Structure 1
């Protein structure tokens, strides 16, 4: 999903991504409990730049994440997946990866800078102007939603930014069922708390 957002010159099949992850010892069953390994995998198979963020999606990383998304590049973020694929808090027992490909900002005030153009049909909806470098609006947003997708879902959804922040920051435990199902998983030293908690990836071409 992230590769399609990056608009790579050629499609990288899922089978190739999984094969490299298995060869490098990043996964055993398809799991990925290390953001650092996910970064290495993305760099190798996509040939892209990857920035590993730690400390969560909120400050001091919030502006960097929003600017990254507004420029059209994807964010990879681990979180706990609820029954409807949206973020929840299960202490990491439902940990999955999602890709965010855009954002919707609720900005106060009737007008924006010339860097933004109003939609021709939906008044009050603005897009970054195509001929100018995209930038964040001057007024701080009152609401932030990320256009996000998890691998098992059919459609992108709008996720509340704070809910995703909170979900990403509480990934601390491997699901008990995984410790008793008889399968082998690749878990980094320090478990999910060290491998996923508060971490995310910014991908660029």
Structure 2
């Protein structure tokens, strides 16, 4: 039997979002610290984290942030994992590893087979495969990752309508959903519930 696909709901900004995920227990939630309409401050994340079920791991999303700052978030327990969504190099990842024991997710924009090969070589604990810079609500061509031989997070344009097909077609370690569970730009508990129900049903 295949292992259950893990779930990450990204871009939480409100205590209502925390209530919704606490009830449904995805394995991960994401707090966005990079410039985005979902961006929150460190202080806000600390508050949200205080109410988050301790069984759910918090991921911080950063874009080209200083390694010392990312390490601080991990060391202080604001987040459990750091997701690097910019042009962070292997040197950057090694520098961050030197400073902290926290797990790292490196995001890659997938447009060609070359992008996939580059992602496979990353020394991060996990790779995340997305359509573009993240949060675009668009999917990439899943056939590009047919023979992926390392654990990865699948992101980009996932929602309740297509997530089952995505899992059956690509067999990811985890799926990462943000705009697909929103209504008018905010997280929608009904959509989160339906999405998670379908993922766990696969």
Q: TM-score higher than 0.5 here?
A: no
Shorter-chain TM-score range: under 0.3
By relative contact order (CA 8 Å, sep 6+), the higher-ranking structure is 1
